[in-house]
Amino acid sequence: MIVRRVLNNNVVDGLDDALQEVIVFGKGLGFNSKPGELIDESMIEKIFRLDDAAASRHFASIVGSIPADILSATADLVARAREELSVKISDSLYASLADHLSFAVQRAREGGDFTIPLAVEVRRFYPTEYAFAKSAVVELNAKLDTELPAEEAISIALHVINAQVGGAADSATRLMELTHSILDIVRLNFGIAYDDDSPAYLRFVTHLRFFAQRVLLGETVQRDDAELLRILTEQKPEAFACVDKVDAFVMRSHGHAMSASEKVYIGLHIASFL
């Protein structure tokens, strides 16, 4: 492993044995190091392997200003998120979370007040990410000897959610807005009140999360379900008339034409409320 450039006394941008770019962290690792030199592997504490070139450049651009203990804690949290959450986590989480934690820890130590947006939506739509984030706050407070408030779990969860849908700063907001909108279309169409704790509601929200994520990423599930859709439309006309309203909405708002498979699944969920 060789040095490409020194980012600060503790971090270097390097190339591994396969000539893949890596960000390498170790206390004093960058001190007196020069481009082209071999990295002293005995000093390495963490290696950040970012497959996404844009995410790697962004991380390299900010890593020099992030305290070493926060870089180390960030690496541990990203690794744990990828292990514990059953979703794909973008490399963008390294930079966004490290940058956020650097500011959050400083604010906590200075006693600053803050307001967390979307708290209700995160707890309601993303219980798994929220549970992970709550445990992350406990872990961070122990590792960094700080007192991040419990509410910080909302912010951490939002960064994890953003990293699932491409890493854009407003991804989580857009995802929850789309989910909210579809829930409202169904609620208003049938005049129903959701029971937030019912299995049918929780299954519907989970499915809408993945559907909304595909819409934002421009992806579509395509299977040969046209005949199944025709049969179900005849059997459950009210539910699938509502599906047509959802289809019209996502086309108008996001340019997404629902496939037969997507209509089948959402229609079956809607039918469970009738």
If asked whether residues 81 and 163 sit together in one domain, one would say yes
If asked whether residues 85 and 160 sit together in one domain, one would say yes
- Please report which helix (H) or strand (E) contains residue 25, including its range: strand 21-25
Find the domain containing 113 and state its range: 53-169
The 3-state secondary structure of 174-212 reads: HHHHHHHHHHHHHHHHHCCCCCCCCHHHHHHHHHHHHHH
Tell me which of 114, 138, 169 is where a domain ends.
169
**Over pLDDT 90: what percentage of the chain?**
45
- Measured CA to CA, the distance from residue 131 to residue 133 in angstroms comes to 5
At residue 167, the pLDDT reads 58
Tell me which of 169, 195, 222 is where a domain ends.
169
If asked whether residues 99 and 151 sit together in one domain, one would say yes
24-38, 117-131, 157-171, 177-191: segment of lowest average pLDDT: 157-171
Tell me which of 123, 152, 169 is where a domain ends.
169
* pLDDT of 150 strictly over 80: yes
If asked whether residues 214 and 128 sit together in one domain, one would say no
Mean pLDDT of 203-209: 89
If asked whether residues 129 and 66 sit together in one domain, one would say yes
- Measured CA to CA, the distance from residue 55 to residue 86 in angstroms comes to 21
Instruction: Name the band, by pLDDT with cuts 50, 70 and 90, for residue 170.
Output: low
* pLDDT of 169 strictly over 70: no
Instruction: Name the band, by pLDDT with cuts 50, 70 and 90, for residue 166.
Output: low
| CATH number, domain containing residue 3 | 2.30.24.10
**Over pLDDT 70: what percentage of the chain?**
96
If asked whether residues 192 and 161 sit together in one domain, one would say no
* pLDDT of 107 strictly over 60: yes
| CATH number, domain containing residue 256 | 1.10.1790.10
If asked whether residues 214 and 106 sit together in one domain, one would say no
If asked whether residues 154 and 59 sit together in one domain, one would say yes
If asked whether residues 152 and 189 sit together in one domain, one would say no
Mean pLDDT score of the chain: 88
Q: What is the pLDDT of residues 219-257, one digit of tens each?
A: 887 778 899 999 999 999 999 999 999 999 999 999 999
- The tally of domains found in the chain comes to 3
Q: How many CA atoms lie within 13 A of 73 on its CB side?
A: 24
Q: What is the pLDDT of residues 16-72, one digit of tens each?
A: 888 888 888 888 898 888 999 999 889 998 888 877 777 778 888 888 888 888 988
At residue 219, the pLDDT reads 86
Mean pLDDT of 99-124: 82
* pLDDT of 217 strictly over 60: yes
If asked whether residues 44 and 79 sit together in one domain, one would say no
- Measured CA to CA, the distance from residue 190 to residue 241 in angstroms comes to 11
- Please report which helix (H) or strand (E) contains residue 229, including its range: helix 226-235
If asked whether residues 164 and 199 sit together in one domain, one would say no
At residue 77, the pLDDT reads 94
